[in-house]
Structure 1
Amino acid sequence: MSSPVEELLNRSQRLGADPRNTNFAGGNASAKGTAVDPATGSDVELMWVKGSGGDLGTLTEAGLAVLRLDRLRALTGVYPGVEREDEMVAAFEFCAFGKGGAAPSIDTTMHGLVEAAHVDHLHPDAGIAIAAAADGEELTRRIFGDRVVWVPWRRPGFQLGLDIAAIKAENPQAIGCILGGHGITAWADTSAQCEANSLEIIRTAEAYIAEHGKPEPFGSVLPGYEALPEEERRARAAALFPIIRGLASTDVRQVGHFTDTPEVLDFLSRAEHPRLAALGTSCPDHFLRTKVVPMVLDLPAGAPFEEAVGRLRERHAAYREEYRAYYERHAVPGSPAMRGADPAIVLVPGVGMFSFGKDKQTARVAGEFYLNAINVMRGAEAVSAYAPIPEVEKFRIEYWELEDAKLRRLPAPKPLAGRIALVTGGGSGIGAATARRLAAEGACVVVADRDLAAAEKVAAELGARAYRPSDVAIAAGVDVTDEEQIAAAFRETVLAFGGVDLIVNNAGLSLSRSLLETTVQDWDLQHDVMARGSFLVSRESARIMIDQGMGGDIVSISSKDSVFAGPDNVAYGAAKADQAHQVRLLAAELGEHGIRVNGVNPAHGRRTLLKREVLPEHVAAAVFALTGGDLSLTTGLHIPVDAGVAAAFLR
């Protein structure tokens, strides 16, 4: 027989695996049961519930909060009222059973006070569509009869838990409720029945919308706002993305994600999209990640590129002013300070959605949540009218002290957090070591190599521990002597992460031969890969960095041979000297854009002053030293990483 914890985890993972049931990291589930208290040897009633910030689909036992039910329910006797309900969150700590476990979420009371062994609280698109409809209460009665009860909007917290517990007690026939503007909650005495009840509510809402909803809830197609053909659409997105990312990073550097699913493109092609977008999202889980409203480009898909860029800048300036006004309308003494005023979601008709966050996962999830919001708006408009919770309520959640405290508890960002790096020759040796170091320091990394399989292997290694490996690293097959391949690799980089901030020119090879043995082919190959390759990669990256307006770093892995003249090395040494001088030339040219250009000069062998072997990791450490922040005013520098070669000392 399964334990309550096993049943809870299995149910949670099944429900969370289907995006129709709930969104990533959204909702929670619980189970009640008994266990032996090691302090007394007696049975004690416990509740296991998904902790704050966890994801149902990937929930493990470590992600559960464990509380004593007697102490949790005793909190009703000391509850000071709705005006002070936030104080009750700290009281959950005194209900904890044992040590460890996840921090209890704000929804803990909902689970603990409802008289049922198993409770699910979910954020399904169909359920929120009913919850966010203008006549949601009437729709709930019409769709479910008395099996599902309407609960008016109330901010999540202790009082909402009391409300739901009372409604459940007053309606013994009910299997759950629709929470106005928010989501659904279901309950039962067994885990299997609780899951069945959750799915009944969700699937019944889906079926009702499909059967009774009007066919074009977003209105007619706006001429000129239709989706561009795929190739043209992706090219337009790649051209716009660095500019939009720069705007969205005015306050804090952001990573981006691009979405051009049919649902997004259809929404942006319809007459009602400006009105609906301006209403903002409804479910708290949505707007905490997407902000209350997106920024929308109000031009047709085929508008000239420069006109679109100019209008995006105007819309961004207006968005920031409107966000500040929103904050000032609702802030009260004691409200947390205003956070960044840049948009998290930018919508471009005919092209798609650009979403932003502190890292790739946050940016991607923001886009997924806005797609959920589009689905909610579609459902609500199909059977009624979309009516999200009032703006003041959104503010009370966005600038909730409990949410702010959660943000303050987050670990400090890593030195390269929010940075997007591309490493050529990243499939092996110095390039692979550098890619590993940059990813370990928080960067999103593009592993570029002529050997795509080798690049893919390194990228997979970097992302092995991530929820989605491509949130950390991707691979790009590229010959750095080929302009078209380089341009394609950078388009891939931009569409994956939003732009580029850090380039490592590492691709290279060495053919050490005497002058008389060096062929023209030897000379051309080494100059093509190292001198021409660095030039082409630097030129393409500089274009993007200038568009972003966020500065950047270009680092070239040169060699001691760029300054040390030795025999039997004319082609390699000359190519490396060319590459090294490019560092100085580009540092002088790109400094006005805040782009720093530096070099690293490695050497191999043990015939050195320090008599130590130089490893790829030592070169990677030098790249990080140049780009990690401590040398922010250094440009045009070459750092020797050669264990001491006196003949290669820089003069």
Structure 2
Amino acid sequence: MSNSNDTFQHINYAWDDEKTAQFNSTLDGLVYRSNLLGSDQRITNTGGGNTSAKGIEIDPLTGKEVEVLWVKGSGGDLRTSTAENFSSLYMDRLLALQDRYYQADEVGAKTQIEDDMVEMYRHATFNLNPRATSIDTPLHAFIPYKHVDHMHPNSVIAVAASKNSKALTEKIWGDELIWTEWQRPGFDLGLKLQSICKDYPKSKGAILAGHGVINWANDNKACYALSLEIIEKAARYIEAHDKGEDTFGGQKYICLDAENRNQVLAEILPYLRGLVSGEAKLVGTVQYDESILHFVNSQDAPRLADLGTSCPDHFLRTKIKPLYVAWDPAKDSVEQLKLMLSEGIEQYKADYSQYYATCKHDNSPNQRASSPSICLIPGIGMIAWGKNKSESRVTAEFYNCAVEVMRGAEAIDEYIALPQQEAFDIEYWLLEEAKLKRMPKEKPLAREVVVVIGAGDGIGKATAHRVAIEGAHVVCADLRLEAAQQTADELTSVYGVGIGVSGSDISSCGPAIAVQTDITDRDSVSKMFQKVLLAYGGIDKVILTAGVFLAPGQNSISEDKMFDVSFAVNVKGGYIVATEANKIWQAQQLPGALVITTSVNAAVSKKGSLAYDTSKAAANHLVRELAVELSPLVNVNGLAPATVVKGSTMFPRDRVIASLTKYSVSFTEDESDDELRDKLALFYAQRTLTKQPITPEDQAEAAYLMISGQLSKTTGQIISVDGGLHEAFLR
């Protein structure tokens, strides 16, 4: 098979000789090959697979040439890997470890020595490389070729997870690939691959039953091309046997149209999130594309879902199997679906606990959360759950891979999963547990969905940035969508879009989204929250910073109209937001928090802002009333700023100039808006006890404090952030 896209029908050939000609080291070439392989999910999944290359390096101790193995380190992702993501080890020291392994094997300690050998790899580290070494290292080290790829392509796993995978391997690849029985990756599997290379000198790789493929070559480009050729052959064979609409036994259930599907999702998602978050709060990803719907609506979906996944990389994310709910969208109600979900999750948890009790060893880690990571609903699609949006999105990606594996295996043969004990031994492998413990500590709001209304500028923008620092999933909501989008884009530029984000579908979003809403319109607020549910599965905190200031002289409307608008935005808007959010909080039954921005003007009587001040006084009491109404599940508090001039749309240039004139503060017409605002802010600061201008960031810090959990016993309170404005002291 020649190396060009003209001959590849199921995979893209992306090698660029001009780029590789510029590389000066073995590692440069390995990083390039790895990035190409990892960038295509038809080749391997996110974080899955590993690559290696052997080359000659100069030993920093002796100054002599030594052979070094460069291999993807533990926890890395091929698509995004750089040189820092690869471990480096002395080849002679790795090979010398075989004697130690054989000695341990002779005294019957083989199971334990498999795990112990991983610690020994550190003693073979070249040049003090700090990158943790992968458990797959011996698979690469003991193969006597310079370049090795170990991939998890769906098409190849479909063969590896078929009932007659050995015969299929011979039929598709002949003597190029040697079939091997399922075995957990480790030292012994590395030795078996070494023997395959010796016993079958013409072989180019091996099919690892139930797992994937590993292949080798002595040239970087040739190894890459071989990986693609192996995938192409499997994909062509599956295509030739594809059953079309009859795949998975044909359709059993209908699909709901988009409008009805979204309505059902909006109703069940917060309820479902509450059910799966009993042990730890989770964030969701919804998927309803043609492929996943074809599966969940099929006759065979219940059987295949119950078998679970095959490839270890898959079920480490998706658990041993998903929750499948046999809801009929043509005749069953949403209330029936809720009941099925409740009963299904209760049974799933019991089954998972039994699975753990049956399979555990004396030294197994403690049982992890027993809730399902994947929920499959006919007519609706798939809902994946994870500790954050990125993880739930990747979990969805992995189950998509599992579906494609099942699709291929059922087309060419019969799909089989790993035996339950083998699956458990991977899921609760002590080395996997050690990898989990090495992961960074979660940020305080990493599992939280925070809706900031008014995020387009001023206090809202600053608050969106503040909660994002703490790991929150931030919904940037504003009347002006373009302003909200700008804030969301700013957050994305700092925190990234996350793995797997693609297309315009909000369910595939990253850690920040922008939505438009008018808080005076209940339908608009309801639709805004529906988008949030489809994006993340629920809400946790809502911070309302949107408001309006209308004053005589600056606004060409009647005073009656000023009252109407001021109370509609500053009071009724808070009521609408709170009551719509509370529907979600009550469905989730997870603790929530609401912060409503009022003003110190609510406690200070003065001339010139009658409508604004009285509306903010009403907002203060709204906070207290809502604290009573929403208790005990939701804490409600108010944030009362003094005059925050910086970045506020309430202080357009004409109002700033009018205020500077009123207070006899000197200025010139050629000064910029920011310069004029700074002068006014400094003037206002002199009226406070601290003599410091009040900034949006000051308000954002207080807003964060009120939702952080640090004030979990505080509700119905108004927190003033005014620099010490003694006129606003409570009397």
User: Do the structures match in fold with TM over 0.5?
Assistant: yes
2:221 counterpart of 1:192: yes
Query: Corresponding residue for 1:270?
Result: 298
Query: Corresponding residue for 2:531?
Result: 492
Q: 2:191 aligns with which of 145, 162, 180?
A: 162
Query: Corresponding residue for 1:466?
Result: 496
Q: CA deviation at 1:38?
A: 2.2
Q: Which runs of 5+ in 1 are unaligned?
A: none
SS at match of 1:78: helix
Q: 1:69 aligns with which of 67, 87, 91?
A: 91
- Residues 41 and 348 of structure 1: is their aligned pair in 2 closer, same or farther, counting only changes over 3 Å? same
TM-superposition CA deviations, 1:73-92 (whole Å, max 9, x none): 21111113331200111111
SS at match of 2:638: strand
Give runs of aligned pairs for residues 238-317 of structure 1, distance below 5 A: 238-302=266-330, 303-317=332-346
Q: 2:249 aligns with which of 219, 231, 235?
A: 219
CA–CA separation in structure 2 for the residues paired with 1:300 and 1:561: 56
SS at match of 2:631: helix
Give runs of aligned pairs for residues 340-355 of structure 1, distance below 5 A: 340-355=369-384
CA–CA separation in structure 2 for the residues paired with 1:637 and 1:435: 22
Comparing 195-204 with 93-102, which one deviates more in the overlay? 93-102
Amino acid at match of 2:192: D
Query: Corresponding residue for 1:527?
Result: 567
SS at match of 1:155: coil
CA–CA separation in structure 2 for the residues paired with 1:244 and 1:453: 32
Amino acid at match of 2:627: A
Q: CA deviation at 1:102?
A: 2.2
Amino acid at match of 2:282: Q
Asked whether the 8 Å contact 2:497–2:511 carries over to 1, the reply is no
Q: CA deviation at 1:518?
A: 5.5
Asked whether the 8 Å contact 2:455–2:484 carries over to 1, the reply is yes
Identity of aligned residues (%): 42
Q: 2:449 aligns with which of 398, 401, 420?
A: 420
Query: Corresponding residue for 2:32?
Result: 10
Q: 1:582 aligns with which of 608, 617, 622?
A: 622
CA–CA separation in structure 2 for the residues paired with 1:520 and 1:579: 19
Amino acid at match of 2:478: D
Amino acid at match of 1:504: I
Q: CA deviation at 1:601?
A: 0.8
Q: 2:717 aligns with which of 624, 637, 646?
A: 637
2:261 counterpart of 1:181: no
2:727 counterpart of 1:647: yes
Q: CA deviation at 1:467?
A: 4.9
Q: 1:31 aligns with which of 6, 29, 53?
A: 53
Q: 1:623 aligns with which of 682, 695, 703?
A: 703
CA–CA separation in structure 1 for the residues paired with 2:274 and 2:398: 22
SS at match of 2:210: coil
Q: CA deviation at 1:511?
A: 2.1
Query: Corresponding residue for 1:321?
Result: 350
Comparing 532-541 with 498-507, which one deviates more in the overlay? 532-541
TM-score between the two structures when normalised by the length of structure 2: 0.87
Q: 2:486 aligns with which of 454, 457, 472?
A: 457
Asked whether the 8 Å contact 1:226–1:266 carries over to 2, the reply is no
Q: CA deviation at 1:101?
A: 4.3
Q: CA deviation at 1:271?
A: 0.7
Q: 1:481 aligns with which of 514, 517, 520?
A: 520
Q: CA deviation at 1:526?
A: 1.9
Q: CA deviation at 1:484?
A: 2.1
SS at match of 1:528: helix
CA–CA separation in structure 1 for the residues paired with 2:514 and 2:290: 26
SS at match of 2:439: coil
Give runs of aligned pairs for residues 583-602 of structure 1, distance below 5 A: 583-592=623-632, 594-602=633-641
- Which structure: larger Rg? 2
Q: CA deviation at 1:151?
A: 1.1
2:671 counterpart of 1:609: no
Q: 1:58 aligns with which of 80, 89, 96?
A: 80
CA–CA separation in structure 2 for the residues paired with 1:51 and 1:178: 22
Q: CA deviation at 1:201?
A: 0.9
Amino acid at match of 2:535: A
Comparing 41-50 with 180-189, which one deviates more in the overlay? 41-50
Asked whether the 8 Å contact 2:627–2:634 carries over to 1, the reply is yes
Give runs of aligned pairs for residues 352-391 of structure 1, distance below 5 A: 352-391=381-420
Q: CA deviation at 1:517?
A: 8.6
Q: CA deviation at 1:516?
A: 13
Amino acid at match of 1:621: E
CA–CA separation in structure 1 for the residues paired with 2:556 and 2:67: 87
Query: Corresponding residue for 1:507?
Result: 546
TM-superposition CA deviations, 1:498-533 (whole Å, max 9, x none): 111100111112223389995222222222222121
Asked whether the 8 Å contact 2:365–2:428 carries over to 1, the reply is yes
Asked whether the 8 Å contact 2:60–2:127 carries over to 1, the reply is no
Asked whether the 8 Å contact 2:48–2:313 carries over to 1, the reply is yes
CA–CA separation in structure 1 for the residues paired with 2:472 and 2:594: 15
The alignment's C-alpha RMSD in Å is 1.5
CA–CA separation in structure 2 for the residues paired with 1:211 and 1:344: 33
CA–CA separation in structure 1 for the residues paired with 2:148 and 2:86: 14
TM-superposition CA deviations, 1:402-431 (whole Å, max 9, x none): 111111222221111211011111011100
2:575 counterpart of 1:546: no
Query: Corresponding residue for 2:613?
Result: 573
Query: Corresponding residue for 1:406?
Result: 435
Asked whether the 8 Å contact 1:227–1:266 carries over to 2, the reply is no
Runs of 4+ in 1 over 6 A off after TM superposition: 514-517
CA–CA separation in structure 2 for the residues paired with 1:22 and 1:228: 32
SS at match of 2:296: helix
Q: 1:47 aligns with which of 63, 66, 69?
A: 69
CA–CA separation in structure 2 for the residues paired with 1:591 and 1:100: 54
Count of residues paired in the alignment = 648
Asked whether the 8 Å contact 2:570–2:616 carries over to 1, the reply is yes
Q: CA deviation at 1:297?
A: 1.1
Comparing 3-12 with 184-193, which one deviates more in the overlay? 3-12
Q: CA deviation at 1:180?
A: 0.6
